[in-house]
Amino acid sequence: MKTILVCGARPNMMKIAPLLRAIKEHNSQKQTCSITPLLVHTGQHYDYNMSKVFFQDLEIPDPDIYLGIGGGTQGEQTGKIIIEFEKIAIKEKPDLVVVVGDVNSTLAAALASVKLHIPVAHVEAGLRSFDRQMPEEINRILTDAISDYLFTPSRDGDENLRKEGIINKKIFFVGNVMVDSLLYARTKAEQSKILQSLDLEKKEYALLTLHRPSNVDDEKNLKDIIEALIEISSYISIIFPVHPRTKRNIEKFSFKKFLLGDNRIIMVEPLGYVDFLATQMKAKFVLTDSGGIQEETTVFGIPCITLRSNTERPITITQGTNTLVGTNKQKMQEAALKIMSGIIKKGSLPEFWDGKAAERIINILISI
């Protein structure tokens, strides 16, 4: 079964890596149906630390095909990927295309494939924020609508798909494939020297990630977030790996002077996967607007303050360690101070977040 697996951005790589390992394991058992994987990297993330270093940390082989799409507007990037991926699909004639997550590469590859009558499997299907201002929400809805096999990370994903009219035989609850990567890399992360290089101790700092357009492209929202962070940093140091998009806007809005003032916000370049996991595992708490980090903190049992008014991963709130605060300065500060005073939300591990999701996916695909 010739299978193209598509990745394009950092969150995709944590989901692709366990799938490739599961395929390798399946093939090593000399099964009747073997899988021939072809890894296509669209190049949607073109910063080294946002892409290539993740291949190294996750032990992903070099892509068989690299499209080198790069940046651009939503339409430009999606359109370029459709054009280039279609050429690959026509040439390679795969039996199946596997897309993961919710980035532009996900939708573009799925759309190009389905128009060529190639079956599509979507890993991490069914997640919904119900906020169509988010580009990722549009990608999720459309990819799920046209895919043939929908692999969900949590039971609410199944329900979301059914409400949208997706028939049951297309839906497969398999658990969270991102957790497979996290558990696989955990030992490496425990051995990371990143904290020593930053002269920090376990639980004596908070970790921040910030990249969502609604937060960093909006001058007022970004200013409110920075002011709240400066206040929080008077109580605890904050490690801030700065996303390229965020860095550009900090400079554009002349906010760098605030961050370089007399506070304990430690701005660093984007970290590789292993070093980032290490900083996350050992943090007092995490502030983020990322989707995947809400899941990772739930697995680690680390309090997570999400700088968004909604989430496509509600299980991280109902069962995990996540709290939504939006971009309200007072709510951000209150949530951080509550954690520092010892009032910590206790979470539990959701069903099938056990490191075996990729194995389940491969077993289903070969049996169909």
| Residues with a known catalytic role | 211
- The encoded tokens of residue 26 equal 């399946």
Bridge partners of 4?
38, 97
Q: H-type helices in the chain, by residue range?
A: 10-28, 52-57, 74-92, 104-115, 135-146, 155-163, 177-190, 194-198, 213-216, 219-232, 244-252, 256-259, 273-281, 292-300, 315-318, 329-340, 357-367
Contact 324, 310 (CB under 8 A): yes
- The single-letter code of the amino acid at 247 is K
Q: How far is CA 288 from CA 22, 104, 206, 278, in A?
A: 30, 21, 11, 16
Give the position of tokens 């032990």.
59
d(C-alpha 134, C-alpha 77), whole Å: 16
- Any idea of the CA torsion for 258, 259, 264, 268, to the nearest 10 degrees? -170
What's the per-residue H, E or C state across 219-251? HHHHHHHHHHHHHHCCCCEEEEECCHHHHHHHH
